[in-house]
Amino acid sequence: MNLRPFLRNGERLPIPTRLSAGNWKNWSLRLRLGVFFATFLVAAWLLAALFAWKESRAYIDRFFDTQQMNFARMLLAASMDDPPQSLPRTKDLLRGLDKSARGRQDKNALAFALFDREGALLLHDGEEGRHFVYDGQAQGFANTSVARKKGEKNWRMVWLASQDGQRIAAVGQDLGHRQRLALAILVRQMIPWALLVPLLLAGLLWMLSRELAPLRAVSEQLAARPPQDGGPLETADIPSEVRPLVDSLNGLFRRVAGMRAREQAFVADAAHELRTPLAGLRVQAQVVELSDDDPPARRHALAHMRASIDRCDRLVEQLLTLSRLESLSDGHSRREGGLSFVPLDWPALLEEAVSEFRTQAGNRGIAMECAVTAIPDRTLGVPQLMTILLRNLLDNAVKYTADGGNTDITLDSHALSIENSGSGVSDAYLPRLGERFFRPPGQEAPGSGLGLSIAGQIAGLHGFTLHVQNRAAGANGGANGFVASLIF
């Protein structure tokens, strides 16, 4: 396992020179998880050791208390007609045998003394028991101090009298022996775990390195990614916890790629469409320069220049509107654009839009009729955008209505329809209406081919549908006008 610091783009990452709470968040994820789990494992190990220590002490106390009591009972039940002063030593009884044959014994395991009712020492174990001090009032277990040449020791004593009261047995054990035995048991239990903790930490670091490898792969993909690349990141080996982040990045790349495509299309369209009016401006400027002595030609050229400037201004305005609408085509951009949807006041919107075109329509003898048969229920939208949509639809309706014709606007609960009398559009070109810069052949009225595209974008942002079709055929079988319907 490689425990070297992570490398990024072939360079060693800086290692914090001071591990403190201030720079904790700047540590690598592997280091932070490693420190967390190391602390957790050590704390768990210490808690387990404390629990094992308490349980070992309790078990040893129960074990030796039982042993002491049984030994005292057997001592009192033994025949004492001619007792020796002390027990012989084990090595004297097993003379000539190797130490291994005598077993491993601890002289402090148990000690005893047997007294008569007057306190005279009748028998002891030959080691510690002779130092026991008779206590005629003691009964049962008690912790006491036993004086020795090297100082006092704390002992666990049990005092038990015979049934006739003639003999009293005292069986004791050094409390230090119990503690040492409990500690030895604890050490033998904890040593395997102490050896396993580093192995567990090493395995944890290896597992973290292995599981974080997909994240490093994503980082390498991002580092090597050219700015113009809008393709998605690979998500095959990404953990489920990190996949939402990668999916969000892929969504961001798609939106950025779409924005770049729209910007490029905007620049290309603007350059293409502005070329014609700018060329006309250049020609008219030359005419103005050459017509100093021809005032009518000069005025005519200036009029054409003003028309070309108006056309450029209208084209740029429509291009900017279309670009902004396309950037708001997804939910993220809609929220970022700050669009606020409110209940639409359709009568007020129609009145404002129609009033702008009444004079233009009247100059050409076009009758404009607006009828509101029903108001749509709970229709939400952006009033400013809906005003642009209505202006574009009405502009097209008036522009392509023959002089002396009529334009009818009808609003009901399901749709807004704008009909105009005229020649209509060939059925072959109807499906292409709404494409950028597309104008059916034979159109005499000036235009850029962006009005219906802008209206369609606004309708889509509101969840509406813009439908265009020719009006019902007349008696001669030809088309008799055009209908644009905004369906809610």
Contact criterion met (CB below 8 Å) for 364 and 422? no
Computed over every residue of the chain, the mean pLDDT equals 77
Contact criterion met (CB below 8 Å) for 121 and 130? yes
What pairs with residue 342 in β-bridges? 381
Mean of the pLDDT values across residues 448-457? 78
Strand locations in 25-139, DSSP E?
Answer: 111-116, 121-124
Contact criterion met (CB below 8 Å) for 54 and 189? no
pLDDT at position 7 is 42
Contact criterion met (CB below 8 Å) for 363 and 401? no
Lowest mean pLDDT among 174-183, 218-227, 254-263, 307-316: 307-316
The answer on pLDDT for 403 being more than 80 is yes
pLDDT at position 52 is 84
Q: What is the DSSP secondary structure assignment for residue 232, as one 8-state letter?
A: P
Strand locations in 110-166, DSSP E?
Answer: 111-116, 121-124, 140-148, 151-161
- Name the residue with higher pLDDT: 161 or 326: 161
For tokens 């309708």, name the residue.
459
The answer on pLDDT for 110 being more than 60 is yes
Mean of the pLDDT values across residues 30-39? 79
- Name the residue with higher pLDDT: 323 or 346: 346
Q: What are 204-248's pLDDT values in tens digits?
A: 888 877 777 777 777 777 778 787 777 787 777 777 777 787 888
What is the total residue count of the chain? 488
Cα–Cα distance between 243 and 215 in angstroms, integer? 10
Contact criterion met (CB below 8 Å) for 426 and 442? no
Is residue 74 classed exposed, middle or buried when 0-12, 13-18 and 19+ CB atoms within 10 A define those classes?
Answer: exposed
Cα–Cα distance between 148 and 142 in angstroms, integer? 19
**Residue 285: Cβ within 10 Å count:** 14
Backbone φ, ψ for residue 333 (5° rounding): -65, -30
- Name the residue with higher pLDDT: 316 or 205: 205
Cα–Cα distance between 249 and 233 in angstroms, integer? 8
Backbone φ, ψ for residue 9 (5° rounding): 55, 35
Cα–Cα distance between 145 and 239 in angstroms, integer? 66
pLDDT at position 266 is 64
Q: Using only the alpha carbons of the chain, give its radius of gyration.
A: 51
- Copy the structure tokens of residue 366: 């076009």
pLDDT at position 9 is 46
Strand locations in 275-394, DSSP E?
Answer: 342-343, 367-372, 380-381
Contact criterion met (CB below 8 Å) for 37 and 248? no
Q: What are 257-273's pLDDT values in tens digits?
A: 777 776 676 666 666 56
What band does 6 get if pLDDT is binned at 50, 70 and 90?
very low
- Copy the structure tokens of residue 339: 């669009």
Contact criterion met (CB below 8 Å) for 89 and 126? yes
Q: What are 47-64's pLDDT values in tens digits?
A: 888 888 888 889 888 988
Domains of the chain: 243-335 (1.10.287.130), 341-487 (3.30.565.10)
Cα–Cα distance between 386 and 391 in angstroms, integer? 9
Cα–Cα distance between 401 and 399 in angstroms, integer? 6
pLDDT at position 157 is 92
Contact criterion met (CB below 8 Å) for 62 and 99? no
- Copy the structure tokens of residue 25: 């968040």
As a whole-number percent, the residues of the chain with pLDDT over 90 amount to 5
- Copy the structure tokens of residue 217: 């792969």
Q: What is the DSSP secondary structure assignment for residue 341, as one 8-state letter?
A: -
**Residue 18: Cβ within 10 Å count:** 6
Cα–Cα distance between 470 and 479 in angstroms, integer? 7
What band does 3 get if pLDDT is binned at 50, 70 and 90?
very low
CA 110, chain centre distance (Å): 65
Mean of the pLDDT values across residues 305-331? 68
Percentages helix, strand, coil for the chain, rounded to the nearest 5? 50, 15, 35
